[in-house]
């Protein structure tokens, strides 16, 4: 018998996570120049279509069918064969199809996160190949290993809503793509519309409640905890970033406030359902501080990660997993684990090893995958195309008349 309350909540959470991808499109769209708005927004929206098709064909099956204790699942549920609308999933007694839809929305947004790093520099056809390949060889295996009964889950690794699966892998893939495509030949004047960035941040923040609280897959006290932890961490991170920026520049900058909020959201993601409310505040403060200086380091090293995907999502995801290993408490969530502060060194080591291994793999695979794609189709946009604007040269459209 389905639990109608849990089912209704999970349908709402699924819708919230879906909204994050358009939110990301607005967030990134505002950060780029006027001649690149449509290109980067399309890269987010096209993931909604292609990833849905891929998830239907093989994604769900590879992530959640078979492969117990392994790296990847099987194809027994390819094209959703064998999936019945009457099947019940999990302790929350929700329909299996709701779980499939919920996880699909995670798959949609994860590769879209990467696009902010290589803005203005990748051909659309190459991006499509990248999108599909990255899902198959990075995202799907880590979903299976951590959430689908695979290797890392059986080892005892925890990741409440995607610090490893989503943010660490996407952030390190973003850095690898920056190293491969190189610096932009034509640098835009900067964010062309901070109000668009604010709109995107609001949609992301709103959607993140479904991202984190929904990861409990039912309505209980942990759902509520994850919801509030999400808001607390984002708020503390936003204000921490603002304060640090005032100290550094003498001015409170709106863009910094917005970026800090997203850094806090990314960092609390793996720990949202496993730590207390005061710890969530501490995680937010650490996230705002560390991510700010990660972006400063990127600028000093002259890495052309255009929209700070590595500094916000990559560093945030890695940091959040490490902090989970330190602060996790079974008093807070009996289904979780005790962290380093509660004497569990083993769990801390597992979290650190898992997130570092995932990060290295995502970086190395992404770099060589882009190199391999270059033998199939041209990857990099030319200097002339950058000068004229990729919206016009790649898509024949203009965002503004």
CATH code for position 142: 1.10.3430.10
Looking at the domain assignment, is residue 232 inside a domain? yes
| pLDDT for the residue numbered 188 | 77
Long-range contacts of 75-82 (CB under 8 A, 24+ apart): 80/56
What is the pLDDT at residue 186?
84
pLDDT of residue 300: 96
30 lies in which domain range?
Answer: 4-395
In a domain, 318, yes or no: yes
Residue 95 is inside which H or E element, if any? Answer: strand 94-95
Three-class secondary structure of residue 380 per DSSP: strand
Strand partners, 359: none
Average pLDDT of every residue of the chain: 97
Judge whether 16 lies within some domain.
yes
> CB under 8 Å to 296, separation ≥6 — which residues?
none
- Look at residue 68 in the predicted model and tell me its pLDDT: 96
Place of tokens 């203009």: 398
With a cut of 70, which residues of the chain have pLDDT below it? none
When divided into structural domains, the chain yields a total of 1
State pTM to two decimals.
0.97
Q: For 24-76, write each residue's pLDDT tens digit.
A: 999 999 999 999 999 999 999 999 999 999 999 999 999 999 999 999 999 99
Q: Is 207 helix (H, G, I), strand (E, B) or coil?
A: helix
Domain assignment present for 125: yes
User: Residue 189's pLDDT is what?
Assistant: 73
Rounded Cα–Cα distance for residues 165 and 140 (Å): 9
Whether residue 400 lies inside any domain: the answer is no
């Amino acid at each position: 018998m389905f639990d109608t309350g849990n089912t209704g909540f999970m349908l709402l959470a699924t819708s919230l996570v879906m909204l994050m991808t358009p939110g990301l499109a607005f967030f990134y769209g505002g950060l780029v120049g006027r001649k690149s708005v449509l290109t980067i927004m399309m890269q987010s929206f096209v993931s909604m279509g292609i990833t849905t098709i891929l998830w239907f064909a093989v994604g769900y099956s590879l992530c959640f069918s078979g492969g117990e204790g392994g790296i990847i699942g099987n194809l027994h549920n390819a094209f959703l064969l064998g999936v019945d609308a009457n099947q019940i999933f999990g302790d929350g007694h929700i329909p299996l199809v709701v779980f499939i839809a919920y996880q699909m929305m995670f798959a949609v947004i994860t590769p879209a996160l990467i696009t902010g790093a290589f803005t203005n520099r990748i051909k659309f056809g190459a991006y499509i190949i990248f999108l599909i390949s990255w899902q198959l060889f990075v995202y799907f295996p880590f979903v299976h290993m951590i959430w689908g009964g695979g290797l890392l889950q059986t080892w005892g690794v925890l990741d409440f809503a995607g610090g490893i699966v989503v943010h660490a892998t996407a952030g390190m893939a973003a850095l690898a793509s920056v190293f491969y495509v190189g610096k932009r030949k034509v640098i835009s004047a900067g964010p062309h519309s901070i109000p668009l960035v604010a709109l995107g941040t609001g949609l992301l923040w709103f959607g993140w409640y479904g991202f984190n609280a929904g990861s409990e897959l039912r309505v209980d006290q942990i759902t509520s905890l994850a919801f509030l932890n999400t808001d607390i961490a984002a708020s503390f991170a936003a204000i921490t970033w603002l304060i640090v920026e005032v100290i550094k520049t003498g001015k409170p900058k709106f863009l910094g406030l917005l970026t800090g909020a997203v850094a806090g959201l990314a960092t609390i993601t793996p720990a949202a359902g496993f730590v207390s409310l005061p710890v969530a505040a501490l995680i937010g403060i650490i996230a705002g501080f560390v991510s700010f200086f990660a972006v400063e380091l990127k600028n000093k090293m002259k890495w052309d990660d255009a929209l700070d995907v590595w500094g916000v999502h990559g560093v945030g995801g890695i940091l959040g997993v490490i902090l989970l290993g330190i602060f996790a408490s079974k008093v807070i969530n009996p289904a979780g684990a005790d962290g380093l502060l509660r004497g569990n060194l083993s769990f801390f080591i597992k979290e650190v090893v898992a997130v570092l291994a995932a990060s290295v793999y995502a970086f190395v695979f992404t770099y060589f995958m882009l190199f391999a794609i270059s033998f199939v189709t041209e990857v990099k946009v030319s200097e002339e195309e950058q000068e004229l604007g990729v919206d016009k040269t790649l898509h024949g459209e203009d965002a503004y008349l």
